[in-house]
A and B are shown apart, each in its own frame.
Chain A
């Protein structure tokens, strides 16, 4: 018996989302039980099962940390742009009135 990760999607254009796991001896048995465990109340319209051992990730989660000096990758890094633009407008008005 192996662990299978179950994914389902709600609509044709929606992404598949993880919804749980089942224990089963193969993909056919996994699908068979996943249908009744995760799709019995019309929670979605399609189902995937993926053998957990086929899912790969980083051994060291700290690899996924983002450094502190990456302000430019975040919206918050551009908070002062609005103020800068307002100041530039003021300045333009001043110059025009001269």
Chain B
């Protein structure tokens, strides 16, 4: 019973920690000083959310949040692969930030109805901070979508690259069926993914930004929101760069070379001084 809870909350925490770490790599390098401060705040928020989620897991398993965050082997992380991808340029970072935070919003909204009271309360608390993340992501996306041409083109490329893998944020985690049955997660990931695809494709279409859905539409395939997952999955190989790029497998522990470098960096201090506190 608690295994499925641990699986769910660990996966959520891993998304937040790994993406938070990626965001933090912009500190000192963001396009301008004001944005540097703003995006660093968002990175801190995400890592704070991870800490809170890991603390919940730690309470159930008798572990410590630091150990969960920094003391695990690479193969024990369950984040979606999108979160571990190298930052690339600012446009890809923004596209991923927008997709991730809107996906997270749907997930957190569902979790507010979790049968696990502490998790439900934590979802409410996290959502309060996410309001700024959503405003930030929406404002940037709209701004860059308006041009100039190079920015818009880079953003379109970023969205193309991130959209497919963002659907893997809703790849079922281990023991999900049990977690849904227990009410820890009130809606199965597939249902959340359908909502996400509907929302994201509407928003991106309105800005004239590409999605795989839009491409299917152009090709004459009728897009039915409720079956969109199958449509995407069925065409996964053709998506973006193909092969590895559909970004699935993260919830089952598949890791990419990008993750190796991130993990080495992120856990270096902890591995040098196991059990250190700061």
Assembled-state Cα–Cα distance A32/B36 (Å)? 12
22 CB contacts below 8 A, A to B, read A1-B32, A22-B34, A23-B32, A23-B34, A25-B143, A26-B143, A29-B139, A29-B143, A32-B38, A32-B135, A32-B136, A33-B34, A33-B37, A33-B38, A34-B34, A35-B38, A35-B132, A36-B41, A37-B37, A37-B38, A40-B37, A40-B41
User: Roughly how many angstroms separate A36 CA and B41 CA in the complex, as a whole number?
Assistant: 7
Report how far A22 CA is from B135 CA in the complex, Å: 18
Which residues of chain B are near A37, meaning CB under 8 Å?
34, 37-38
- For A10-38 the 0/1 string (1 means CB < 8 A from B) is 00000000000011111011001111110
Q: Does B177 contact A (CB under 8 A)?
A: no
Question: A37 CA to B39 CA in the complex, in Å?
Answer: 11
User: Are B132 and A33 in contact (CB-based, < 8 A)?
Assistant: no
Q: Size of chain B's interface in residues, with CB distance under 8 A?
A: 12
Q: Is B35 an interface residue when CB atoms closer than 8 A count as contact?
A: yes
A40 to B34, CA, bound (A): 12
- Which chain B residues (17-55) contact chain A, with CB distance < 8 Å? 32, 34-35, 37-38, 41
Roughly how many angstroms separate A36 CA and B42 CA in the complex, as a whole number? 10
Interface size range on A against B = 10 to 19
Interface centre among A26, A33, A40 (most CB of B within 10 A): A33
B104-136 residues at the A interface, CB under 8 angstroms: 132, 135-136
Mask: chain B, 58-86; 1 = CB below 8 Å from A; 0 = not: 00000000000000000000000000000
- A interface with B by C-beta (< 8 Å): 1, 22-26, 28-29, 32-37, 40
Interface centre among B34, B37, B135, B139 (most CB of A within 10 A): B34
For the complex, what is the distance from the CA of A34 to the CA of B139, rounded to whole Å? Answer: 14
Bound CA–CA A18/B38 (angstroms): 20
A76 to B32, CA, bound (A): 50
Contacting residues, chain B, for A35 (C-beta < 8 A):
38, 132
Inter-chain contact B34/A24, CB cutoff 8 Å? yes
**Distance in Å from the Cβ of A92 to the closest Cβ of chain B?**
68
Q: In the complex, which residues of chain A have a beta carbon less than 8 angstroms from the beta carbon of B35?
A: 33
Does the CB pair B139–A32 fall under 8 Å? yes
State how many angstroms separate the Cβ of A9 from the closest Cβ of chain B. Answer: 20
